[in-house]
Structure 1
Amino acid sequence: MPPRPTRDDDARPIPRQGRPSERRPDPEDDDGAFTVDTRGRRRPPASPAPRRQPTARPVREGHPARPPRPTGPAAAPERPPAPEQRPAPPRRSRPVAAPPEQEPRPRRRRPWLLLPALLVAWLAFLVVTPLHAWSSVSRVDDAPAGDRPAETPGDTYLLVGSDSRDDLTVEERRELGTGNAEGRRTDSIMLVHVPSGGGKSAIISIPRDSYMPIPGHNSNKVNAAYSIGGPQLLVQTLEQVTDLRIDGYLEIGFGGFAKVVDSLGGVDICVPFDMDDPKAHINLAKGCQTLDGKNALGFVRARYSDPRGDIGRAERQRQFLAAIMKGAATPSTVLNPFRYWSFTHTAAGAVGVGEETGMRDAANILLAMRGAGNDSTLSLTVPIQDANYPTAAGSAVKWDSERARELFTMLREDQPLEAPPAGTDGKPSAG
């Protein structure tokens, strides 16, 4: 169908309504633009036609006249100026927190590394404590007068338990039942022999009523030698009778017995029989038990409640010394610094030692005493012939001279002892 001729007063042709794909391009509206066909074909632009000047459209009645459309550069609407393009601010980098300064890692504690140091410190304490205690012991003049026996290979020491009351107060004398007798006497006399070679050490009890010659004082009980001339005369008397040179001297008194026991918290003693002795202030039942200082002192002093008299008392004294050293060597004492310190210093303050007696001699005595509790030390009594020998000094103890001489010869020649020699069991011989 041919197009309708355009009239001058016609307005712009109105495109035919239809689908967008059927809309044809208007050469006046499109300057060389492509028309897209939805069916997938691309149509070339129509050749540009000369643009006609728009004609004025007649004004209809009742309608105001439309102003003419401006043309040219002025026809373009003024656009607001674009805002000034400011450069974008630089992107701030996010501050990164500096890693915290790492503290030096604490060293891992290794307590086992301290064990050698603790062991060394403990061993030093065990050694230094008795050395310090030894510096507080009192010295006793025990050097005998006159000629002395020759030195022997082994060592022989004199151990004395004194009943001196000089260091006790009135209350202590009353509590311990020691009485108020003046002067010094011995409650126990023992020879401690330590061989230089093999064999066992030996503790030989000398009954205090043993009858023998006392230099310058005729014959008397050996206890009189201590009462007359103290340690010096006692050492001289025993050296002449035994022909043994005494290499050291150690003495302990009543108060020392009780204090040493209490410093250990008591000692374990097996009482051989019921002991009710008012003079010793004890009433002990038969059997093993722990004795405090007061009862232990009564146990070693009692003589009237023992049917064997001084012989039985000498055995109990050796038993007591072994119990003391056993208690001193237990872990409850050695591993307890307070008890260990108390025992060593109490013992040092309770004893007196000879002028020439050294710490090595004291250690030999203590070790021999300790061995009496485990049979590594022989516990003996000088051979006895008669326990009730009548003398001018009263009933005394008479030695078996032949067997006693054999015993002291063995000790003087340092012969090894593995078993008690004959007659050293404290029983009187038949002769």
Structure 2
Amino acid sequence: MEPTQVVRRDGRRDQELAYSRSPEPEQATRRYTSKHPTQQPQQPPQRARHAPTQQPQPYRDQRRPPPPPSRGRGAPPRAPQPERRRRKRHLFRWFLVFLLVLIVGMVAAVVHLDDSLTRIDALSAYEDRIGDTPGTNWLLVGSDSRAGLSAEQEQDLATGGEVGSERTDTIILVHIPKSGQATLVSLPRDSYVSIPGHGRDKLNASFAFGGPPLLVQTVEGATGLRIDHYAQIGFGGFAAVVDTLGGIDVCLDAPISDPLAGIDLPAGCQTLDGPQSLGFVRSRATALADIDRMNNQRKFMAALLQKATSAGTLANPFTLWPLATDTVGSLKVDEGDHLWHVASLGWAMRGDTVNTTVPIGGFDDTDSGNVLLWDRDRASRFFDALANDQQIPEDLRTG
């Protein structure tokens, strides 16, 4: 094919393009020839281009960041703004301050309450004292002390006035094992036992002869258990604790009417206030006298601890604080005991416990009056189980 003459706009003619065609179209090649070999081929004229039409934009204050676009569902979480982060840090600081104040206040309250405990020398060492036994043993004593009571209070509580030496109406041995249920053992106050230096007499006579130290020594000799902690409460403190809790709920199988204890209680479930509770745990005006009284004492203690450790009591500072102050103000503990020991005792006794009485062999009349005798064989096996930190066999449990 001959070169094609192309007429340019400036009137010049030039051989611009020449094409050679092969017999096969797909192998055709394009050859460029030019009259001026160094000159670049002329580009076809292009249309004039204009700037794109601009849409008017709303005015935005450059000093503030533009508002974030709306986020649709599934959009990634938006980064917190500086102001929000500052607010969170501020709230977190206040929370830490509140937590610190709360901890310091609780520590100060515990120290104050611990200092308020009345401490006595109840576990003083004596010659040939029984060695340590497994588990933890408490001796709980309810005394008939009228200390701190006015004449009007003595009348309200039906204490009968001052009767000389302080005596014990309630003696309970609490064994807390390393694992398992706590055991509450009622020790009848009229139990006929050997009192060091005084021969055989009623158990509560040891308290009258030598106070808490002699009582502890007598109990250790009779049971073969080493007492680790001691707690004693009087009439006034007992009633105050009950009233602080708003009364205690108990259920009676039979009515109890005892003018000497100041109570007249019908059968059935009812709420007892402080004076009624005191009369309930002291009364012997029932068919089994001391046996019923010991059962009532354990029943009442279970109800008292259940209410004292309930969520409603622990979560209410207006009840918890008066309860704590009334309790520590009415307790006497050994010199080595502290508030956390008392708290651990209450916690161990709050749930299901084994409630029983020392095996009884009968009664007898002596120079000390009518006394209660232990079944020696069964009582020996009874306390051996506790000394080995084991549960008392079912056939030895009574009450």
Normalized against structure 2, the TM-score is what? 0.73
The answer to whether the aligner puts 1:334 opposite 2:314 as a matched pair is yes
The answer to whether the aligner puts 1:364 opposite 2:344 as a matched pair is yes
The answer to whether the aligner puts 1:425 opposite 2:360 as a matched pair is no
Q: Secondary structure at the match of 1:226?
A: helix
String of CA shifts for 1:149-170, please: whole Å, max 9, x gaps. Answer: 0101211111100011122111
Distance change >3 Å, CA 353–CA 111, structure 1 → 2: same
String of CA shifts for 1:177-232, please: whole Å, max 9, x gaps. Answer: 00111220001001111112x33210100000000111110100001000110001
State the 1:101 CA deviation.
11
Larger Rg: 1
Paired position in structure 1 for 2:238: 257
State the 1:135 CA deviation.
2.0
Contact 2:364 2:370 in 1 (8 A): yes
Q: Secondary structure at the match of 2:184?
A: strand
Alignment of 1:8-23 (within 5 A): none
User: Distance in 1 between the 2:165 and 2:96 partners?
Assistant: 53
Paired position in structure 2 for 1:187: 169
The answer to whether the aligner puts 1:286 opposite 2:262 as a matched pair is no
State the 1:422 CA deviation.
2.1
User: Distance in 1 between the 2:261 and 2:180 partners?
Assistant: 37
Distance change >3 Å, CA 226–CA 127, structure 1 → 2: same
Alignment of 1:94-243 (within 5 A): 129-142=109-122, 143-180=124-161, 181-196=163-178, 198-243=179-224
Q: Secondary structure at the match of 1:238?
A: helix
Distance change >3 Å, CA 194–CA 109, structure 1 → 2: same
Specify every segment of 5 or more residues in structure 2 that has no aligned partner in the other structure, as ranges: 1-60, 66-81
- Give the percent of matched residue pairs that are identical in Structure 1 and Structure 2: 43
In terms of fraction of residues, the more strand-rich structure is: 2
User: Distance in 2 between the 1:395 and 1:294 partners?
Assistant: 28
Which of these residues, 269, 280, 287, is aligned with residue 299 of structure 1? 280
State the 1:139 CA deviation.
0.4
Which of these residues, 339, 346, 364, is aligned with residue 326 of structure 2? 346
Distance change >3 Å, CA 421–CA 390, structure 1 → 2: farther
Paired position in structure 2 for 1:396: 371
Specify every segment of 5 or more residues in structure 1 that has no aligned partner in the other structure, as ranges: 1-97, 427-431
CA root-mean-square deviation:
2.8
State the 1:259 CA deviation.
0.3
State the 1:128 CA deviation.
5.7
The one-letter code matched in structure 1 to 2:356 is L
The one-letter code matched in structure 2 to 1:185 is R
The answer to whether the aligner puts 1:245 opposite 2:226 as a matched pair is yes
User: Distance in 1 between the 2:245 and 2:107 partners?
Assistant: 19
Q: Secondary structure at the match of 1:188?
A: strand
Paired position in structure 1 for 2:28: none
The one-letter code matched in structure 2 to 1:275 is I
User: Distance in 2 between the 1:271 and 1:129 partners?
Assistant: 38
User: Distance in 2 between the 1:268 and 1:361 partners?
Assistant: 26
The count of corresponding residues between Structure 1 and Structure 2 is 319
